[in-house]
Amino acid sequence: MVRSGPMSPPPLSLSLDLIARAHPDTVPDDETALTLLSDDDLAPELEAMLARRASPDGGLWVFAYGSLLWSPEFTVTEQRLGTLRGWHRRFCLLQRRFRGTPESPGLVLGLDRGGVCRGVAFRLADTDPHATLMPVWRREMKGKGYEGRWVRVETETGPVTALTFMVNRASDRYTGRLSDAELADKIAAACGHLGPSAEYLFRTVEACAGLGIHDRHLWSLQALVAERLHERRATCA
């Protein structure tokens, strides 16, 4: 069972209504915008990752910090709030498809070096790890933006070893450390065939708020993006 933190995060200024009003038009999919790896390409990498799994007796866990908090690709048997040390959650990966375009790429979260990240450790059924993990492995790894890694996650009932996804710094999608203002400009402007980049931000912040997780990076961004979307609406009007 996941417990909320001791203090509730501050209210959000970003909303789905504001996002929809600022981005009323649909965007067609452009399959050429991002080359995706096939399951045949991904399967050996997943097998190698499972071979590096330290202790199967501890269960099969995935550490979620972004979209997996609100849109997991697996059935969960248990979940715990957890802390990952040495890495922090940050918008640092360009998205030229799905929630952005090559001309106006959106941004998604990755784990980058340094700091601390609070998220959720999800426990999965362990009868067939490859089949269980393949959907989330495909989702996170097909665009070459992430690297899978087993990490130690601290929880209230003890540490667990979990699979998570760090940003691939060698990818041409990696932005490095942009300022919150620069990130907000990109997120507010971008929209792909799955919807606006701002919606990804909103749903992640909303999920964190529900869990009692207050990430200053996310809260600062959502406020800045809300300001830009209000300006966008005013300009269009």
pLDDT tens-place string over residues 99-133: 999 999 999 999 999 999 999 999 999 899 999 99
Residue 101 Cα to chain centre, angstroms: 18
Which residue matches tokens 């600022």?
22
* SS3 label, residue 158: coil
**What's the pLDDT at 27?**
95
When the pLDDT of each residue in the chain is averaged and rounded to a whole number, the result is 93
Given 45, 78, 103, 140, the catalytic residue: 140
pLDDT tens-place string over residues 1-23: 444 444 567 788 999 999 999 99
Token duo for residue 56: 């199967």
Exposure string (b/e) for 53-71, b if CB count within 10 Å is 16 or more? eeeeeebbbbbbbbbbbbe
What is the rounded distance in angstroms from the CA atom of residue 158 to the CA atom of residue 104?
43
pLDDT tens-place string over residues 129-159: 999 999 999 999 999 999 999 999 999 999 9
Which residue segments constitute the domains of the chain, with CATH numbers given?
Answer: 53-229 (3.10.490.10)
For the packed helices 129-141 and 39-51, what is the interaxial angle rounded to 10 degrees? 120
Contact 123, 59 (CB under 8 A): yes
- As a whole number of Å, the CA-based R_g of the chain is 18
The neighbouring-strand residues paired with 89 are: 111
Residue 54 binned pLDDT confidence (cut-offs 50, 70, 90)? confident
Instruction: Determine whether 206 is an active site residue.
Output: no
Residue 237 binned pLDDT confidence (cut-offs 50, 70, 90)? low
Which residue matches tokens 């300001």?
227
